[in-house]
């Protein structure tokens, strides 16, 4: 293990960086310092820092070739990166120099960093996990490429119109993206539609009806101290020909430009649905577009090393992030058979030794299925190959009637991915067990060695070192160097200090500082004023019924009622903070947002709540907002219906930053409890098995409402329009669902949630005890570094040995 900060990153002092900035402002950005805006200076620093990444990047690439390293390819529709500049500065150990350089130009460093737009090329956990994995693969030294789509518009911007969610297009590329290198020489034609005619042997000749170009843009991803650097390659869809000559010559300029419209549509915008695939043709085209471009690139690199396509699996491991790139199986077979002359069985053996698949959800409505009509029309050759994979699997397993990839006029992408993969993994221990018992039960019985668990993790560089400067200083001083950021197991040394009053006081002072900064930000940017000494109780994540923001809202309203009923009763003063977006077409989730905002308005307007209870819902939650909220949290809400949240990753970020968790035994919460000890986490509610039993026994939510007057009162208030200016109709869909179906068993868990929150109140009343628990939470988080996760994939899925 390393213990210094020099490594391969070129060290540069503030003066040298000041000069480099001045040079890039002038010659890369083309601006005179006299007229330069904040963004110009930000781009200038970005270019100067990028220059420092290039040599370590080349060094890693040369080393990967020289050592003939097996490469990992991480294929993901989403990379939810956020900002890059500060992260690169931190990883390269350049912060002091950058601050000095920026100040010397008379620019405010915090404002400059804050000027960078988030790269929001993802919806939520799945996309953010891919971004953490990029950072970790570079830090532990796995030779890797991330492959994805260079969306022109990332996830929509959320605004609130009188508490209702509205969506606006996001425009991160309006200013130039100064990190990337355009690779105009790397472009592959990608075909769609057309006809297939028989070829030689197993081969065929596919003549697509439409072709677009996939053009590469590369972003270097430097790991900790530049010891290793990988590449994120994003594909932009471009027309093969910008103009059709014939209509152009006729003077019909609009018709002449038509081909470019179809092509550019493919990489135009990220689909904003996190877990409900729409089965839209454009989405299928996006999936095939980036998968085919990535595989063409992978095979080109393999052959450029003088290797045979047959030997691919020995030199490359391809990870499919969910089923979105599952067309990789048939596409790889197609390339090997139709272009490289392998027979089908050989080709399938190569593909299924190279590909691996990560599953991120068990929710049945989230599993991708494509109609065979759509698939056969857009990708006729792939449809043939899928049928053949299906037949071969049925024959080999001698189970022609059990699992079929093509079923009822649909292609089941989960089964296709499973069958095409060497390893299949879940993202927490519980989720992996449930995969074996439910969606993949039959396939698991046929292939008992395939499914493995790789519990998610998060990068401690962004989620601790970067977002929590106070904690960073305390950890570095306590642990003796900054190496904890690349070796988070060292944080376990905090555990004994939980008993040290002086240490606890410093730990708590950092939390208080972060809360003050967060309160100032809430006031400045969102116009809500909150008491920074109150408990910050935070739920931030996509709005989804299974995540049960509704249960949190009901508990908030019930607490309000309880304080009103007995103003002398002892409740911990709380600031409830919500953050998150709903898919634009998800009506129930949008209604829940409005309900939270209505409850917030009622509570915040009531003078009796002053210093006791406040609710904030800052609009447009994103990665940068998470970096402000997480270090300021006292309590982390992880309250999904047990069995529904595959892992969760926000839960880990909060605990790392010293928040306590109130949560169900779902996803990685189970492992967090094991890591911190059950006395240091507030677990409540039904287990996954109990949730199933409740449903099986004919769940009647009304009986739970009848049994808890606190819940009954809130539901009645909502029905009477108490929080909505007398409008009793507004939330009909919410209350009818609660009384009638309540698919996610909010009513069944409400009482135990409410009561557990009162135990949280009692704990808050003993600040020394609370901080002791908070320290123990942070101390237990070593295992949730995504470095650990990546080492797990390296050893158990990819068969590679990390270089660092
Ligand atoms: C997503 O963010 C997740 C699952 C999905 O299933 C899709 C998206 Cl966009 C198709 C999340 C899980 O809900 C969450 O529990 C998990 O922590 C995260 O993926 C990363 O594995």
645 in ligand 1 pocket by Cβ < 6 Å?
Answer: yes
Is residue 803 one of the residues assigned to a domain?
no
pLDDT 10s digits, 301-360 = 999 999 999 999 999 999 999 999 999 999 999 999 999 999 999 999 999 999 999 999
Q: Which residue has the higher pLDDT, 617 or 262?
A: 617
pLDDT 10s digits, 459-485 = 999 999 999 999 999 999 999 999 999
Distance in Å, CA 651 to ligand 1 centroid? 13
Is residue 88 one of the residues assigned to a domain?
no
The catalytic residues are 360, 541-542, 547, 649, 653
Atom in ligand 1 nearest the alpha carbon of residue 363? 6
Q: To the nearest whole percent, how much of the chain has pLDDT over 90?
A: 93
Which sign, positive or negative, has the C-alpha torsion 381, 383, 384, 388?
positive
460 in ligand 1 pocket by Cβ < 6 Å?
Answer: no
361 in ligand 1 pocket by Cβ < 6 Å?
Answer: yes
**Do 267 and 374 lie in a common domain?**
yes
**Do 541 and 679 lie in a common domain?**
yes
How many other CB atoms sit within 10 Å of the CB of residue 207? Answer: 12
To test the ligand 1 pocket, which listed residue (129, 154, 155, 360) has its Cβ within 8 A of the most ligand atoms? 360
Distance in Å, CA 650 to ligand 1 centroid? 11
**Do 354 and 434 lie in a common domain?**
yes
Query: What are the tokens at 5?
Result: 């900060």
d(CA 791, CA 214): 32
**Do 72 and 197 lie in a common domain?**
yes
Please state, rounded to an integer, the average pLDDT across all residues of the chain. 96
Distance in Å, CA 786 to ligand 1 centroid? 15
275 in ligand 1 pocket by Cβ < 6 Å?
Answer: yes
Rounded alpha-carbon distances, angstroms, from residue 544 to 358, 533, 685 = 21, 30, 18
Task: Write the residue with the smallest CA distance to atom 1 of ligand 1.
Answer: 126
Q: Which residue has the tokens 């019930």?
A: 558
User: Under DSSP, is residue 184 helix (H, G, I), strand (E, B) or coil?
Assistant: strand
- The confidence score (pLDDT) of residue 7 equals 56
The domain of 55 spans: 1-67+94-117
Query: What are the tokens at 631?
Result: 């270090």
Is residue 89 one of the residues assigned to a domain?
no
ipTM comes to 0.98
Closest by alpha carbon to 160, among 718, 551, 613, 600?
600
**Do 494 and 418 lie in a common domain?**
no
**Do 335 and 477 lie in a common domain?**
no
Is residue 440 one of the residues assigned to a domain?
yes
Distance in Å, CA 366 to ligand 1 centroid? 10
Task: Write the residue with the smallest CA distance to atom 3 of ligand 1.
Answer: 126
pLDDT of residue 799 exceeding 50: yes
Is residue 804 one of the residues assigned to a domain?
no
d(CA 656, CA 244): 57
DSSP conformation class of 641? P
Q: To the nearest whole percent, how much of the chain has pLDDT over 70?
A: 99
**Do 124 and 215 lie in a common domain?**
yes
How many other CB atoms sit within 10 Å of the CB of residue 297? Answer: 19
Closest by alpha carbon to 779, among 474, 512, 496?
496
- Concatenating the DSSP letter of every residue in 85-101 gives HHHHHHHTT-HHHHHHH
**Do 449 and 490 lie in a common domain?**
no
Query: What are the tokens at 517?
Result: 């900064």
Task: Write the residue with the smallest CA distance to atom 17 of ligand 1.
Answer: 648
649 in ligand 1 pocket by Cβ < 6 Å?
Answer: yes
Atom in ligand 1 nearest the alpha carbon of residue 358? 21
Is residue 774 one of the residues assigned to a domain?
yes
427 in ligand 1 pocket by Cβ < 6 Å?
Answer: yes
Is residue 450 one of the residues assigned to a domain?
yes
- The confidence score (pLDDT) of residue 298 equals 98
To test the ligand 1 pocket, which listed residue (276, 621, 646, 649) has its Cβ within 8 A of the most ligand atoms? 646
Contact 21, 41 (CB under 8 A): yes
pLDDT 10s digits, 530-539 = 999 999 999 9
pLDDT of residue 69 exceeding 50: yes
**Do 423 and 495 lie in a common domain?**
no
Q: Which residue has the tokens 């003066």?
A: 15
**Do 54 and 149 lie in a common domain?**
no
- The confidence score (pLDDT) of residue 10 equals 63
pLDDT of residue 250 exceeding 90: no
d(CA 394, CA 412): 15
Cα-based angle 392, 396, 398 (whole degrees, multiple of 5): 115
667 in ligand 1 pocket by Cβ < 6 Å?
Answer: yes
**Do 409 and 486 lie in a common domain?**
no
322 in ligand 1 pocket by Cβ < 6 Å?
Answer: yes
| Ramachandran angles phi, psi of 629, nearest 5° | -75, -40
pLDDT of residue 369 exceeding 70: yes
Buried b (16+ CB within 10 A) or exposed e, 333-371: bbbbbbebebebebbbebbbebbbbbbbbbbeebbbbbe
Q: Which whole number is the average pLDDT over 137-162?
A: 98
Is residue 587 one of the residues assigned to a domain?
yes
d(CA 381, CA 371): 15
d(CA 711, CA 702): 10
pLDDT 10s digits, 443-454 = 999 999 999 999
**Do 643 and 685 lie in a common domain?**
yes
- The confidence score (pLDDT) of residue 296 equals 98
Q: Which pLDDT band, with edges at 50, 70 and 90, does 1 fall under?
A: very low
pLDDT 10s digits, 593-615 = 999 999 999 999 999 999 999 99
How many other CB atoms sit within 10 Å of the CB of residue 757? Answer: 23
pLDDT of residue 200 exceeding 80: yes
Burial of 651 (0-12, 13-18, 19+ CB in 10 A): buried
pLDDT 10s digits, 104-134 = 999 999 999 999 999 999 999 999 999 999 9
User: Under DSSP, is residue 466 helix (H, G, I), strand (E, B) or coil?
Assistant: helix
> Count of domains in the chain?
3
d(CA 232, CA 148): 8
Q: Which residue has the tokens 């160097």?
A: 481
CATH code at position 314: 3.40.50.2000
């Amino acid at each position: 293990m390393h213990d210094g900060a020099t490594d391969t990153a070129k060290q540069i002092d503030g003066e040298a960086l000041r000069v480099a900035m001045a040079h890039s402002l002038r010659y890369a950005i083309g601006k005179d310092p006299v007229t330069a805006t904040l963004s110009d200076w930000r781009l200038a620093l970005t270019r100067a820092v990028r220059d420092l990444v290039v040599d370590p990047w080349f060094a890693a690439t040369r080393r990967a070739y020289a050592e003939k390293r097996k490469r990992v390819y991480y294929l993901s529709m989403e990379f939810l990166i956020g900002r890059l500049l500060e992260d690169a500065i931190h990883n390269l150990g350049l912060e002091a120099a950058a601050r000095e350089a920026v100040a010397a130009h008379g620019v405010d460093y915090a404002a400059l960093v804050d000027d960078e737009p988030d790269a929001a090329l993802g919806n939520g956990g799945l996309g953010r996990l891919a971004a953490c994995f990029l950072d970790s693969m570079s830090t532990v030294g796995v030779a890797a490429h991330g492959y994805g789509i260079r969306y022109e518009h990332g996830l929509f911007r959320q605004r609130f119109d009188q508490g209702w969610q509205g969506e606006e297009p996001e425009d991160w590329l309006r200013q130039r993206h100064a990190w990337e290198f355009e690779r105009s020489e790397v472009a592959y034609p990608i075909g769609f539609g057309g006809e297939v005619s028989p070829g030689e042997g197993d081969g065929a000749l596919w003549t697509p009806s439409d072709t677009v170009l996939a053009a590469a843009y590369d972003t270097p991803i430097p790991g900790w101290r530049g010891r290793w650097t990988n590449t994120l390659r994003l594909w932009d869809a471009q027309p093969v020909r910008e103009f059709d000559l014939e209509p152009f010559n006729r003077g019909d300029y609009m018709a002449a430009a038509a081909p470019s419209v179809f092509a550019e549509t493919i990489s135009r915008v990220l689909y904003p649905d996190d877990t409900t695939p729409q089965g839209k043709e454009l989405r299928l085209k996006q999936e095939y577009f980036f998968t085919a471009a990535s595989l063409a690139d992978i095979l080109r690199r393999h052959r450029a090393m003088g290797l045979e396509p047959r030997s691919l699996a020995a030199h490359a491991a391809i990870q499919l992030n969910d089923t979105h790139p599952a067309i990789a199986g048939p596409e790889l077979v197609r390339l090997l058979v139709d272009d490289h002359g392998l027979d089908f069985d050989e080709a399938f053996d190569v593909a299924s030794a190279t590909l691996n698949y990560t599953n991120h959800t068990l929710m049945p409505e989230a599993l991708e299925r494509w109609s065979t009509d759509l698939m056969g029309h857009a990708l006729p050759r792939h449809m043939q190959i899928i049928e053949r994979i299906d037949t071969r699997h049925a024959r080999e397993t001698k189970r022609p009637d059990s699992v079929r990839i093509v079923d009822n006029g649909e292609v089941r992408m989960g089964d296709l991915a499973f069958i095409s993969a060497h390893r299949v993994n879940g993202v927490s221990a519980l989720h992996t067990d449930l995969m074996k018992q439910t969606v993949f039960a039959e396939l698991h019985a046929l292939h008992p060695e395939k499914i493995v668990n790789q519990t998610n993790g998060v990068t401690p560089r962004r989620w601790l070192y970067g977002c929590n400067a106070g904690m960073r200083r305390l950890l570095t001083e306590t642990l003796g160097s900054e190496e904890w950021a690349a070796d988070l197991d060292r944080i376990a040394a905090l555990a004994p200090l939980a008993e040290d009053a002086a240490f606890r006081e410093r730990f708590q002072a950092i939390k208080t500082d972060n809360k003050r900064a967060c309160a100032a930000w809430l006031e400045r940017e969102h116009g809500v004023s909150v008491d920074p000494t109150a408990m910050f109780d935070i739920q931030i994540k996509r709005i989804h019924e299974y995540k049960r923001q509704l249960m949190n809202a009901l508990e908030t309203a019930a607490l309000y009622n309880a304080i009103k009923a007995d103003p002398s009763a002892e409740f911990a003063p709380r600031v409830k903070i919500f953050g998150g977006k709903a898919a634009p077409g998800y009506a129930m989730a949008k209604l829940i947002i409005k309900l939270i905002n209505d409850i917030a308005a009622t509570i915040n307007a009531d003078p009796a709540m002053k210093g006791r209870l406040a609710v904030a819902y800052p609009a447009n939650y994103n990665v940068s907002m998470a970096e402000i909220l997480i270090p300021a949290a006292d309590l982390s809400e992880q309250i999904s219906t047990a069995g529904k949240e595959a892992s969760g990753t926000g839960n880990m970020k909060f605990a790392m930053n010293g928040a306590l968790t109130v949560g169900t035994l779902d996803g990685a919460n189970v492992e967090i409890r094991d890591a911190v000890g059950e006395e240091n986490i507030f677990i409540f509610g039904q287990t996954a098995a109990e949730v199933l039993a409740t449903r099986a026994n004919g769940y009647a939510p009304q009986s739970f409402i009848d049994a808890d007057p606190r819940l009954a009162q809130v539901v009645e208030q909502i029905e009477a329009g108490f929080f909505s200016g007398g409008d009793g109709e507004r939330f009909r869909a919410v209350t009818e669902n609660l009384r009638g179906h309540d698919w996610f068993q909010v009513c069944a868990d409400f009482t135990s949630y409410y009561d557990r929150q009162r135990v949280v109140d009692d704990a808050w009343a003993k600040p020394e005890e609370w901080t002791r628990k908070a320290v123990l939470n942070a101390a237990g988080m070593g295992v949730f570094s995504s470095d650990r996760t990546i080492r797990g994939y390296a050893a158990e899925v990819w068969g590679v040995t990390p270089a660092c």
